[in-house]
Each structure stands twice: as structure tokens, then as C-alpha cells.
Amino acid sequence: MARIEDRAPATATGDAPLNDDIGEELRLRMYRMQVEIREAEQRAYDLFLQNLVKGTSHLSLGQEAVATGFAAAMQPGDLSFCTYRGHAHTLARGVPIERVLGELMGRDIGLMRGKGGSMHLTSAEHGVMGSYAIIGAHLPIACGAAWRAQYKGARDVSVCFFGDGTTNIGAFHEALNFAAVWKLPVVFVCENNLYMEYTPIGDVIPVEHPAASRALAYGLEPILIDGQDADAVYRAASAAYDKARAGGGPSLIECLTYRYSGHSRADPAKYRPEGELDRWKERDPIKLYRKRLQQFGIAEAAITAIEADVKARVDDATETCKASPPPPLDIITTDVYADGGWAWRN
């Protein structure tokens, strides 16, 4: 069987045909979003090495274009369902950097006041309906949210992100079948970064692409896109959202991408073939998108201003988090159940 990485789109983002369907304002916003995700996650890595991030963390360095493209195409009220690798999607929906870093650091300023940690980021205010540590658990939940929208005649779309390994989980197939039968307004997004934890996905599937090759089984169009190109991701997301809002049912989109680090901070990723990481870094989504901006004649000063501003904001957020205290002990038993308390109810 051919290796998955050999099937990645060959055309570099910077060589793609130019067109103006997205526009300068949105492209600058998407560049800012990608730089913010990269800088914030790199800072999370640095803080981990300083023993300021407790436990483990799952970074998506190298995958910024996926979170950016889908978030940029969303409307207010749309819902995001993430995996434990959910920092990027949380930031992309507009959650402040200090709320994310603060949660990773276990500080009171954190999104969950330091009680959830890296794998449980949630902000209903921003449409982030949770990061889920159980593989595939959130796909049926996203279906439930989409069913609610359909039943009430609402126009929001649920977007569910998951890794390539999830496509071998029963909940993946159950959710796709349910969504297709009921024509639910939900978009399933496979972030195929080639590895299901430590195992190459190509070693454990009988089809060419873990998500796209299985779409036809549920009456869905096979959609395979370049996950390193934020514009390509944005266009695919926009089409899927329009279809869902028009009553056309779900979409399954597979994004070919790559994580630069191991599965988690405990993983040195020694299983990767020599040179693979370097080859993917040649198609780094931020470098490619920076070139895209230059192709459209956007001034270098505007690009560097974004980069400087983001770095300054990450620095400020870091210091704010360091100054924030741990959560007070009196909230340790709050928010266990939906009523805000901890007492068991039969």
C-alpha cells in the first residue's frame, strides 16, 4: 500500500492560481489567526518545558490552516466540537489567548478556571462546545446539536473535528449514518495528520483515504483537500456550510495535514521516517500563506505588523497567566453536574 504522505496534493499553496474570491481583509484575518495559533501553541510548548503546564498537552503545530479555514467561514452561532488537540480550534473561534494558556497552566484566569486543563477546553459563548478526550465521543454529540437545530428550524451548523484514527471507531460510522439518514446540518472534518497516535494510518485501513474513501458508503461526496492551504480549507468549509444551511445534509471533509511534534508531549515521534518532517515543513501553512499575501500585493509592512502584534499579545498573555493564582479550593466541587453542584441525583 502506498504511504499516505505520497498522496498529498503536490501543488504548493504559493503556486496556486490567483483569484480574488476571498479578498484582502479576510486573508489578513486568516493570516493573523494562523500566526496566533502557531505562537500560542509554541508558547504552550515552552511553558511545558518550564514546568508551568501540568500534565500533558497535544499540540497541532503545522495544522493551523485547518482550524483557520473552518473558523473563518463560520457564522456566529455555529458550533465547534473538538478533540483533545483542540487549542487551535478554540483560539480560532475567538477565545482570548490568556484564557487558553491560563487553562493549560491550571490558573484561575483559565477558560475553565484551571479545572479542565489542556484536553477539556470549552466556551459556549464562543461556540466551542467542548474538547473531548475520548476518541470519537463527540461525533454523536455533534449530531445531537445538529438535530436540535433542524428540529427548531435554526440555521446554525455543527462542525466536528477529529483525527484520522477516529475513522476506525464505531462512533464515526454511527454518526455518519445517522447524520446522512436525517440530513442533519453537520460537517465532519477529518484532520488526517498521517498518524493515529504512534501508528501510521495507512497501516491499519483497507482503503486509500481514511475518511474520503468511506464517504460513498453513506451517500456522501468524497471530499479530499489540501489541509496546508487556508484558502482551500475556507472554500471547502463555505460550500459545506451553505449545503447544510440549505437543508442538503451533512458533509465529510478530509484535510491532508501534518503535526510537527509527536502525539503528545510524552512522544518524541521517533517512529517517523527520516526526512518526512522536513518535507512537510517545506509546505508550512504559515509560510505558504505569507507568500500568498505577497502574491496579492499586500504590503510587507502590513504582514510584519500582524506578526509583531501577535507576538506581543502572546507575551502579554503569558505574563498575565503567570501572575494569575491557582483556582480557589472552594470551587473544587462546583460544576460537576449541570446544576453547578456535585451531589449525586438518582
Residue 160: give its domain's CATH number. Answer: 3.40.50.970
For residue 15, pLDDT over 60 is answered with no
The arithmetic mean of pLDDT across residues 163-175, rounded, is: 97
Computed on alpha carbons and rounded to an integer, the radius of gyration of the chain in Å comes to 20
Mean pLDDT of the chain: 92
For residue 14, pLDDT over 50 is answered with no
For residue 232, pLDDT over 80 is answered with yes
The set of residues, in sequence order, having a beta carbon less than 8 Å from that of 36 and lying 6+ positions away, is: 91, 97, 310, 313, 314
Check residues 1 and 118 and name the one with the higher pLDDT. Answer: 118
Of 64-68, 151-155, 206-210, 268-272, which gets the smallest average pLDDT? 268-272
What is the model's pLDDT at position 329? 94
Flag whether 38 is in a domain. no
Which residue in this structure is represented by grid cell 478556571?
Answer: 113
What is the model's pLDDT at position 340? 86
For residue 7, pLDDT over 50 is answered with no
Cell of 268: 518524541
d(CA 287, CA 323) in angstroms, rounded, equals 33
Neighbours of 137 (CB within 10 A): 16
What is the model's pLDDT at position 343? 86
Domain that holds residue 69: 47-283
Are the CB atoms for 163 and 196 separated by under 8 Å? yes
Check residues 204 and 338 and name the one with the higher pLDDT. Answer: 204
Flag whether 253 is in a domain. yes
Q: Angle between the 230-245 and 285-295 helix axes, to the nearest 10 degrees?
A: 90
Flag whether 302 is in a domain. no
The arithmetic mean of pLDDT across residues 112-141, rounded, is: 95
The arithmetic mean of pLDDT across residues 302-328, rounded, is: 98
Task: Provide the number of structural domains found in the chain.
Answer: 1
pTM score, whole prediction: 0.92
Quickly state the pLDDT bin for 18 (edges 50, 70, 90).
low
Flag whether 58 is in a domain. yes
Q: What share of the chain is helix, strand, coil (3-state, %, to 5)?
A: 45, 10, 40
Flag whether 325 is in a domain. no
Quickly state the pLDDT bin for 19 (edges 50, 70, 90).
low
Flag whether 201 is in a domain. yes
Flag whether 111 is in a domain. yes
What is the model's pLDDT at position 11? 38
Flag whether 135 is in a domain. yes
pLDDT digits (tens, 9 = 90+) for 257-295: 999 988 887 788 889 999 999 999 999 999 999 999 999
